[in-house]
Amino acid sequence: MADGHGPVGAFDARTVLCHEPVGPALVLGSGQRVDDGLSARADAAGLAVVRRRSGGGAVLVVPGPVWWVDVLVPRGDPLWDDDVGRSAVWLGEAWRDALEAVGVAAEVVDRMSCGAVGRSVCFAGRAVGEVLVGGRKVVGVSQRRDRYGARFQCAALVGPDAVEASVVPLVGLLGPWSDGASDDELATGLRAVVGWIEAPPDALLEAFLRALGAAAR
């Protein structure tokens, strides 16, 4: 999993990287701190701790329910946008179009919102260009930029086990929480704002790649 978060190196063409986790890992955003308590809880759960260079909260990546897809866009590409605040909109629209192609109605987030839990748990917050189904977040998007271009990292929750397997366990891993909320309360809150995609995986991937091709035209 760590290989998916290292430097990309020089690139000059639009590129899609689909990562397949071989085991579970706790992926932290660039600004999140690792203390002894978090390290001990991750070790006890058998989790590798990986830091991505893009911002945002933590994602618990488990094989199957979480899809990790990177889209690389070089500077000068027609999809490049100097405005970081809107630069992921086209990508969210591609995810929306792909979901609608497999029969799932979706919408793209157009305004950032992030409370205390959202700063710690990726799927509890919302950023422009991320994707909702039924008002619940199903695709998270973060990005980092360098002199070559932008690397958009997408995490999609696929299948009915996705929320319980990859989002709810973050409550215990990242706590205790400063507001004194119980684990049960926080888990209930996460289930209210985080959803999952019900679609055949192969059909969804094919539809997403088609949508990316359409976005480039």
Check residue 178 and give its pLDDT: 67
Instruction: Confirm if 115 and 73 have CB atoms less than 8 A apart.
Output: no
Position with higher pLDDT, 25 vs 32: 25
β 136-145/149-157 pair status: antiparallel
Check residue 211 and give its pLDDT: 95
Check residue 184 and give its pLDDT: 92
Residue whose pair of structure tokens reads 């094989």 in the numeric block: 63
Structure tokens at 87: 């630069």
Range 1-12 average pLDDT:
61
Q: Which pTM value belongs to this model? A: 0.91
- pLDDT confidence band for 8 (50 / 70 / 90): low
**DSSP states along 152-192:** EEEEEEBSTTHHHHHTTTHHHHH---TT---HHHHHHHHHH
Domains along the chain with CATH numbers: 11-20+64-160+178-215 (3.30.930.10)
